[in-house]
Amino acid sequence: MSFIRSSKIEYKSNPQILKMREAGLILAEALDATVAAAAVGKTTAELDQVFESVITGHHATSNFKGYHGFPATICASVNEEVVHGIPGERVLQDGDVLKIDGGCIVDGWHADSARTVIVGTADPADQRLSDVTEEAMWRGIAALAEARFVGEIGEAIDDYVSEQDGARLGILEDYVGHGIGSEMHMPPDVLNYRSGHRGPRVKPGMCLAIEPMLVRGDIETAVLEDDWTIVTTDRSRASQWEHTVAVTMAGIWVLTAHDGGAERLAKYGVTPSPIQP
């Protein structure tokens, strides 16, 4: 989920980050199971049930269900739906671009992560959209490892997207990443584009949800009558990828990646810096 907030930044202690890591690993497992279940003929409500069964099986709590009245444990957004789609009786079709966004809480500490899944046979343009969005996320995460200011994350994402050959992809500006910790949405805002603002200084104990959202067309969006689902007004397809990342004394640690981000960050010369219990 993505909302804009502005107030005091929360810096976590090592034990608190370890609780967020616990939540992040449960979340990664739940997303693995939900992605594996996403297939032609499945409903988005069925996927929500898969996700919920994993986190409840670990005695974790959903941080989406009941949030400002949201009725499910995941956001399931299909095609032109960018984010905050409500799971229901919609049946997935061949070629659908599905965004699965979920989160969970362990002992009061939150994790948030999202993936894009192309159901069945992928249109090459949709696959490119998802691939570029995912790599843009990793480029932003890698930038955080050396960043002095939070705004450098958005600069890295914007630069990566802008340098891609082929059809231009738009970066959503109305919905951004966020701080996370004792609440799901906290300061600071984590922009996915160049804004001219440095943002707050990066400090150990800062935890951020980095989540670029890209579209194949115009970046203008609208909210559907359910007061949740965000869609592109030109009905162009969208992708979302997200990880929760902690800044430690030694570097960064991707709390919602099984390996802490090691494999995907290696190409950028970044090694995750886990906190030892």
Binding residues for a divalent metal cation: 101, 112, 178, 211, 242
| 157 close to 193: Cβ distance less than 8 angstroms | yes
Instruction: Point out which residues pair with 248 in neighbouring strands.
Output: none
Q: Going by C-beta distance under 8 Å and a sequence separation of 6 or more, which residues neighbour residue 235?
A: 79, 80, 217
- Cα–Cα distance, 88 to 132 (Å, whole number): 28
Q: Which candidate, 28, 29, 66, 30, places its Cα nearest to that of 49?
A: 30
Instruction: Report long-range pairs for 66-73 (Cβ below 8 Å, ≥24 apart).
Output: 67/1, 67/184, 70/1, 70/228, 72/45, 72/48, 73/48, 73/102
Place of tokens 């980050």: 17
At 207, phi and psi to the nearest 5? -125, 130
Numbered residues of the known binding site for substrate: 84, 185
- Cα–Cα distance, 214 to 52 (Å, whole number): 27
Residue 61 DSSP label: E
Numbered residues of the known binding site: 84, 101, 112, 178, 185, 211, 242
- Cα–Cα distance, 140 to 158 (Å, whole number): 9
- Cα–Cα distance, 35 to 51 (Å, whole number): 9
The two three-digit tokens of residue 86, written as one number:
């409500």
Cis before 71 (ω within 30):
no
Cis before 274 (ω within 30):
no
